[in-house]
Amino acid sequence: MERVTFAQLPRAIQVQLAAIGPLLFGLVCGFVLELDQAAYWGVSALSVLGGIAGGTEHGAIRSAALRGVVAGACFGLGVVIANAASDRPALAPLPSPAAALILITATAGAGLAAGGALLASRR
């Protein structure tokens, strides 16, 4: 069976994988942030695996990194939105201003996805 790359997927699926999925996962992570600090870090660790896995779907490191920027920014946006929508305090530290988290997660997403593409290219 031939491997399908991200670029070969229909645009609607690309949008779901690179933006909508990470945004929804970020919302979940943002709500968990207000429930339990350890659970927040655990859910955040799962997002790291998602970033690496997403990068493996690319044939080139550059395209993987670009997807990682989008996915990371959407994830961070979800965390910020969920935190702002709640009346509970965050149980883990967030940068100040909280919107800086979007830049941090976008940068991390680029690196994780590029790393995933690099791992995939070595297989």
Amino acid at position 85, single letter: A
Q: Give per-residue pLDDT as tens, 8-36.
A: 999 999 999 999 999 999 999 999 999 99
pTM: predicted TM-score of the whole model, two decimal places: 0.93
Residue 87 has pLDDT above 90, yes or no: no
Helix, strand, coil percentages (3-state) for the chain, rounded to 5, are 75, 0, 25
Q: Rounded CA gap, 73 and 28, in Å?
A: 15
Q: Give per-residue pLDDT as tens, 37-77.
A: 999 999 999 999 999 999 999 989 999 999 999 999 999 99
Give pLDDT, residue 123: 72
Using alpha carbons, select from 89, 95, 51 the residue that is nearest to residue 70.
51
